[in-house]
């Protein structure tokens, strides 16, 4: 089937008509001169590059995959040349500071770029996906010497970066990390240990790979507080190679184009990033950026699956739709229409939420008012775990639903749809499993202050909503979640296990409420575009098939509360 096609006009409509991005940029000094026309131009060029260079490599990436031999990894045919065009075209540097070789554009344009890349070629996107997080981590926590040596190369994408956390005995529980860092007289450290599941830990895309490694110095406290972060390059500034070896790559269900590496550090020389014992604080600068990117991956993957299913449904005839006299196109059958419109509702509303979060990232960095910066930081902290979990969940389950549109043809490789199902599954696991995202939301964000800030935020979201049907539904859902929260908080104080049992239901309810809020933003502006019917069908699906999940999730939680016990 046809390769993925980024529809940039839809993204531009959301960015400008729905969110009014250019008016928000005018309040931020670095972006005051950026208008809708420039954003549209950048997005259009990005879409062309993704469609013409990256998308055509998706199939070969899956079928050939990355290859390991004697410690070296060869990427699938065409990937190295595509990556050269990618970084030389300035795409990794889109949102980096011009002082470091970047273009100084807003974060939301980078977010849209990576969403399109993920839809076009998930495997390719994994290699540069951590670059901006590594850039931010080094910019905030690196020494001046490290910045001088590595910051611009990472910002521009000339060199790639990895995040080396996981070990065979230490997955989500990073307190179990045992990799050692032995201090040296010259201020460096010798790093020894093994890391697993390292995306693009070895590859032939770039001349150098900068590894950011969690390790423990001698005498450091046990657990997370004893971890420090170290920068260990593949090649040192003098050109010599470090003692870092790729011992193999994983055989995976999907994502074949991305080498998932087992890395060994044998007294590899590295340098500390940030303060001793501050490894997790420094690493989470990178991790939070990665979680937003994974949420965008979910949207991109779902969009790619929807495109294939929608195209197939418009050419395949089977049986008669209600009221038809002859065999109908699949798109005319209500069951298939429900599947397709539901995925598009997730994509449309998800984009509103993701793009607004990316706008808030820049507001948090650049707004002149400290209170507004704090408000933006709060927004990002609350929405990131919701988006990461909800969007990746829907990417996998929605791709599976899209496969259903193909019937038996979807289960064979020729259709291409089954690759999206396989590739999407891992997004629910990496960069913090979706269960961890739910716990982060409920335990760390809601329960931490008794739900006060969360409930205030829900009230603020509900207040400016208009009088449309979807706005009324969004208001009702936000208020329902707000009303449930104090009762849940009280119950969680009495039952230590309760928040971990219902966290997933709570996050799902929050996701639905936020999707309704986002949908109401689209509804308020859809008639102003040249194709209102394009937006109204998914909005109707949002009301019919997605919104009813919130009262169900709230009922599950309420049933678990002490007052509901028999």
512 and 377, same structural domain?
yes
| 273 and 296 part of one domain | no
Which residues have C-beta within 8 Å of that of residue 405, sequence separation ≥ 6?
Answer: 309, 312, 313, 330, 336, 339, 340
Residue 507 pLDDT > 80, yes or no?
yes
- Do 186 and 251 lie in a common domain? yes
- Say if residue 218 is in the same domain as residue 289: no
Residues of the domain holding 223:
160-278
Clarify whether residues 239 and 289 are in a common domain: no
Phi, psi of 213 (to 5 degrees): -120, 130
Q: Which CATH number goes with the domain that contains 164?
A: 2.40.110.20
Q: What is the mean pLDDT of the chain?
A: 96
- Both 434 and 521 in one domain: the answer is yes
What integer pLDDT is reported at residue 207 of this predicted model?
Answer: 98
pLDDT at 566: 45
- Reported as a pLDDT band with limits 50, 70 and 90, residue 563 is low
CB atoms within 10 A of CB 21: 26
Distance of CA 392 to the CA centre of its chain: 8
DSSP percent split of the chain into helix, strand, coil, nearest 5: 60, 10, 25
Residues 229 and 358 both lie in one domain: no
Mean pLDDT over 191-214 rounds to 98
Catalytic: 431? yes
pLDDT tens by residue, 280-315 = 989 888 878 889 999 999 999 999 999 999 999 999
Of the listed 217, 431, 501, 531, which one is catalytic?
Answer: 431
pTM beyond 0.95: the answer is: yes
Are 273 and 288 in a shared domain? Answer: no
Note whether 94 and 175 are same-domain residues.
Answer: no
pLDDT at 52 over 90: yes
Residue 158 CB neighbour total at 10 angstroms: 17
Q: Is the pLDDT of residue 564 over 60?
A: no
Q: What are the beta bridge partners of residue 162?
A: 211
Residue 565: pLDDT above 50? no
Residues 125 and 201 in one domain: no
First to last CA, the chain: 55
Q: What is the pLDDT of residue 528?
A: 72
CB contact set of 354 (below 8 Å; sequence gap of 6+):
111, 115, 292, 295, 296, 299, 387, 391
**What's the pLDDT tens digit per position in 111-124?**
999 999 999 999 99
Per-residue pLDDT of 141-173, as tens digits, reads 999 999 999 999 999 999 999 999 999 988 788
Other beta carbons within 10 angstroms of residue 184's beta carbon come to 12
């Amino acid at each position: 089937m046809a390769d993925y096609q980024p529809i940039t006009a839809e993204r531009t409509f959301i960015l400008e008509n729905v969110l009014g991005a250019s008016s928000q940029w005018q309040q931020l000094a670095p972006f005051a001169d950026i208008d809708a026309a420039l954003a549209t131009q950048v997005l259009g060029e990005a879409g062309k590059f993704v469609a013409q260079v990256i998308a055509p490599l998706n199939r070969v990436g899956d079928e050939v995959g990355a290859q390991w031999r004697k410690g070296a990894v060869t990427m699938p045919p065409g990937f190295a040349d595509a990556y050269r065009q990618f970084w030389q075209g300035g795409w990794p540097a889109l949102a980096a500071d011009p002082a470091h070789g970047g273009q100084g554009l807003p974060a939301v344009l980078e977010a849209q770029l990576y969403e399109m890349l993920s839809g076009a070629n998930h495997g390719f996107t994994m290699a540069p996906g951590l670059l901006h997080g590594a850039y931010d981590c080094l910019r905030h926590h690196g020494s001046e010497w490290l910045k001088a040596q590595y910051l611009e190369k990472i910002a521009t994408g000339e060199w790639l970066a990895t995040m080396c956390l996981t070990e065979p005995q230490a997955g989500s529980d990073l307190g179990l990390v045992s990799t050692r860092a032995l201090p040296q007289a010259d201020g460096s450290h010798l790093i020894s240990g093994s890391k697993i599941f390292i995306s693009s830990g070895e590859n032939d895309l770039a001349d150098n790979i900068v590894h950011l490694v969690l390790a423990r110095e001698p005498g450091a406290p046990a657990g997370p507080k004893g971890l420090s972060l170290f920068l260990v390059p593949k090649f040192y500034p003098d050109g010599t190679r470090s003692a870092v070896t790729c011992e193999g790559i994983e055989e995976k269900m999907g994502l074949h184009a991305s080498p998932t590496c087992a890395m060994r550090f044998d007294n590899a020389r590295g340098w500390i990033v940030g303060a001793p014992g501050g490894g997790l604080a420094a690493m989470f600068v990178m991790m939070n950026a990665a979680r937003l990117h994974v949420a965008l991956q979910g949207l991109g993957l779902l969009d790619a699956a929807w495109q294939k299913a929608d195209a197939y449904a418009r050419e395949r005839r089977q049986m008669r739709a209600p009221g038809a006299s002859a065999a109908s196109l699949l798109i005319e059958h209500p069951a298939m229409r429900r599947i397709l419109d539901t995925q598009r509702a997730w994509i449309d509303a998800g984009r509103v939420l993701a793009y607004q979060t990316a706008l808030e990232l820049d507001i948090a960095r650049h707004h002149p008012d400290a209170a507004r910066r704090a408000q933006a930081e709060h927004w990002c902290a609350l929405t990131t775990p919701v988006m990461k979990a909800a969007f990746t969940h829907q990417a996998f389950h929605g791709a599976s639903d899209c496969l259903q549109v193909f019937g038996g043809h979807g289960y064979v490789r020729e259709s291409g749809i089954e690759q999206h199902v396989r590739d999407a599954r891992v997004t629910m696991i990496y960069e913090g499993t979706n269960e961890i995202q739910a716990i982060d939301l409920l335990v760390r964000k809601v329960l931490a202050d008794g739900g006060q800030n969360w409930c205030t935020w829900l009230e603020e979201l509900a207040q400016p909503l208009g009088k449309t049907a979807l706005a009324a539904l969004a208001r009702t859902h936000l208020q329902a979640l707000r009303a449930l929260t104090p009762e849940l908080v009280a119950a969680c104080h009495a039952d230590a296990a309760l928040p971990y049992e219902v966290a997933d239901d709570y996050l799902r309810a929050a996701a639905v409420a936020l999707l309704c809020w986002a949908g109401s933003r689209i509804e308020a502006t859809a008639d102003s575009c040249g194709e209102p019917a394009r937006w109204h069908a998914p909005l109707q699906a949002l009301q019919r098939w997605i919104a009813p999940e919130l009262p169900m999730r709230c009922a599950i939680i309420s049933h678990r509360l002490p007052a509901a016990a028999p």
